[in-house]
Amino acid sequence: MSGNNEQYSKKTGKRKKKALKTVLITALVLVIVLVLTIGINVVINRNFTVSFYQIRSDKVSDNIRVVELSDLHNKEYGKGNCKLVEKIKDLNPDLIVYAGDMMNYKNDDYSVLFNLSDKLSEIAPIYACYGNNEIDQYLFEDKQFTEKLEKHGVNLLSNEAVDIKVKNSVIQLIAVSDDLKQYDIKTNNSKKFVESLEPTGNCRICLTHYPELFKEKLLNKGIDIAFTGHAHGGLIRIPFIGGLYSTGEGFLPDLTEGVVKANDGTQVVISRGLGDSRIIPRINNQPELVVVDICWY
C-alpha cells in the first residue's frame, strides 16, 4: 500500500512540476511579447502618420484644406519640429487649427510651441482653442500665456466666435473652452456662449478639445464641422474594438479618432494627437497629423 502511495506522490509531483513549468514558460512568452510590442510601438511612435478626410459642405464655394494639430504636449519631430513643419508645408493648407494641449501644464518653457507656431504661421493662418493644459496654465500659473502665444501668430479663441474669409468663402469659427464637467457651471461659461450664438448661413466650424461634448451639450447648435482631440486615440487601440480608455469617456470610449457624425449631423473630427502626457505608452496608435478637405461639390 505504501508503495502505491509513493508512486502516486511521484506522479503528482511530476504533474505539479510540469504545470509550474508551463505557467512559467507562458508567463515568459507573454513578457517577451509585451516587451517587443512596447519596443516596436516606441519606434513607430517616433514618427507621425497623416490622416486624410473629406467633408462635403454646400456652405463653402471653394475647396478648403484644414490641417489639425492636437495634443502635441511639447513633442518634437526632428530638430525644431522640422519634419512636422516640412510635411505641413507640403500639404499646402488654407487654414491650420490647434485643438488644444499643445504644451504641458506647469511647464513654463513654451519654446517648442512658440517656435513651431512661428514657422507654421508663415504657411497659413492659425486658430486655436484651449485644451485642459493651456487653460490650467493660464488660470493657475501664467496669466500672460494667451498674450504670449498670440505674439507667435496664433489666434487663440475662448468661448467666442469670429468670421474669417478663406479663399472666397466666409467661415464662422467658434471655440468652446470648457470640458463636460465645467460646461454648465462656470461663470461666463461655454453654455452661455453657445446659447447666445445667432444663426448663420456660413459654414460654422467649432474648435474644442473635448469630443464628448457632442454626445449632448453641443448638439443642435448649428455646428457643421468640429475639430477635437483629447482622447489620445484611446491610448491602446484594440483591433476591431478601438480605443481602450480616454479621460473624457472612460473605458472603451466611442470618440477617439476619425470623423464621427453626431446625432444632429455635425461632422466631428477627432485627432489621435501628436504627443503623450501619460505613462501608458501608445499601442497600435501612431501619432497623427489630420488633414480635412472641405469640399463644395
User: How many CA atoms, within 13 angstroms, populate the side-chain half-sphere of residue 156?
Assistant: 20
From its phi and psi, is residue 208 left (phi > 0), alpha (psi between -120 and 50) or beta?
beta
Residues 143 and 249 in one domain: yes
How many CB atoms are located within 10 Å of the residue 296 CB?
Answer: 15
Residues 150 and 16 in one domain: no
pLDDT score at 278: 74
The ranges of the chain with pLDDT < 50 are none
Residues 16 and 53 in one domain: no
Sequence-ordered list of residues with C-beta below 8 angstroms from that of 82, at least 6 positions apart, any chain: none
CATH number at residue 276: 3.60.21.10
Cβ density class 12-34: b for 16+ within 10 Å, e for less: eeeeeeeeeeeeeeeeeeeeeee
pLDDT digits (tens, 9 = 90+) for 163-198: 999 999 999 999 999 999 899 886 668 999 999 999
- How many domains does the structure of the chain reveal? 2
Residues 35 and 119 in one domain: no
Cβ-contact 100, 206 below 8 angstroms: no
pLDDT score at 103: 97
End-to-end CA distance of the chain: 90
DSSP-derived secondary structure letter, 210 = -
Sequence-ordered list of residues with C-beta below 8 angstroms from that of 132, at least 6 positions apart, any chain: 100, 101, 105, 179, 209, 230
Which of 236, 237, 262, 234 has the alpha carbon at shortest distance from 248?
234
Residues 174 and 39 in one domain: no
Residues 266 and 248 in one domain: yes
Residues 16 and 129 in one domain: no
User: What is the rounded radius of gyration, in angstroms, for the C-alpha atoms of the chain?
Assistant: 24
Residues 63 and 1 in one domain: no
Residues 73 and 179 in one domain: yes
Residues 216 and 268 in one domain: yes
Sequence-ordered list of residues with C-beta below 8 angstroms from that of 51, at least 6 positions apart, any chain: 257, 258, 288, 289, 290, 291
Question: Would strands 154-157 and 160-166 be described as parallel, antiparallel, or unpaired?
Answer: unpaired
Q: Domain of 17? A: 1-44
Pairwise CA distance, residues 266 & 221, whole Å: 9
Residues 114 and 255 in one domain: yes
Residues 154 and 288 in one domain: yes
Q: Where are the alpha helices (DSSP H) in the chain?
A: 2-44, 82-91, 111-120, 132-136, 145-150, 190-195
Which of 139, 134, 147 has the alpha carbon at shortest distance from 175?
134
